[in-house]
Amino acid sequence: VHIARFDHFCGWLHNPIGEENYRWFLSFLFVHVCMCCYGTVICALLFQGEVRERDLWNATFYNVQTGEELKADWYMIFNFMMQRNGVVGGVMALMAVMTVTLGLFFGWHVWIASRGLTTNETAKWDQVRKFHKKEMKRYEEALKNGTVAARHEEASKLLVTDITDGDVTCTGGSAPTADDTKSGEANKDTDDQVVYDPGPMPKNIYNLGFVENWKDIIWPRSLRPEALERYRTTPPYVPKPRASPKRETNKTK
């Protein structure tokens, strides 16, 4: 199955995410961020209400082991509330962690979508950037050493390898000699020494700008009227039922 603008396979939805459902995936993340944030606030308000009702800020706490009186502070009140309402406290902690986690995940998707990228393409562009940075470093060092090939044609003259007749014909050919092996090794060493100018960092041709990128997400190209008209197929041919032949009857007088 080919997925247009494939982003990733979502285990939560058990479905691949691509061009036509990426907007619903973002909506899914946004709704869950709001729900987790709402749950965190509700639990915090429940704790706040009980603290006010019991006037815990003016309460005096006692150490069970030493009998020492302790003044109320954030740590003391939090410890007291968690012991009395462990389930609600656990739910609040879980909701808070998931709010931050899903919020960061949703923000990251908004960021790459604004740049016209997918999760799949982001990983590949990271590899391209690392490779380009590495080659630029090699190129700058080669400029100092004078081993830069300005053009591919000039460098190819240094990389000519003698090929025996057996490599280009169907006559069986002869095995490479010791001289051929040495020549190949020398050319390989020359290939490692020659460095090309990697040029500027390639640009993402699918980055059409913030507005156009979000247009493609909210209103996918494959679902637009012009695309549907272009790829619309004719309805299947259904043969018309044939009329049953009339029976001929012999009329006798």
In this prediction, residues 40-45 reach a mean pLDDT of 95
Residue 247: the pLDDT is: 56
d(CA 166, CA 177): 12
Q: Name which of 210, 208, 203, 224 is nearest 4 in CA terms.
A: 224
pLDDT range class, residue 65, cuts 50, 70, 90? confident
Over 70: is that where the pLDDT of 169 sits?
no
Residue 236 backbone phi and psi in degrees, to 5 = -60, 145
- Ranges 135-139, 188-192, 193-197: which has the least confidence: 188-192
- HSE at residue 81, side-chain half, CA atoms within 13 A, is 26
Using CA atoms, how far residue 74 sits from 78, 79, 81, 105, in Å, is 6, 8, 11, 31
Whole-model pTM: value is 0.66
Q: Is the separation of the CB atoms in 99 and 37 below 8 Å?
A: yes
Say which residue the tokens 């656990």 belong to.
90
d(CA 36, CA 212): 31
Query: Mean pLDDT score of the chain, rounded to an integer?
Result: 78
Say which residue the tokens 């494959």 belong to.
222
In this prediction, residues 22-46 reach a mean pLDDT of 95
In this prediction, residues 86-98 reach a mean pLDDT of 93
107 or 166, which is more confident?
107
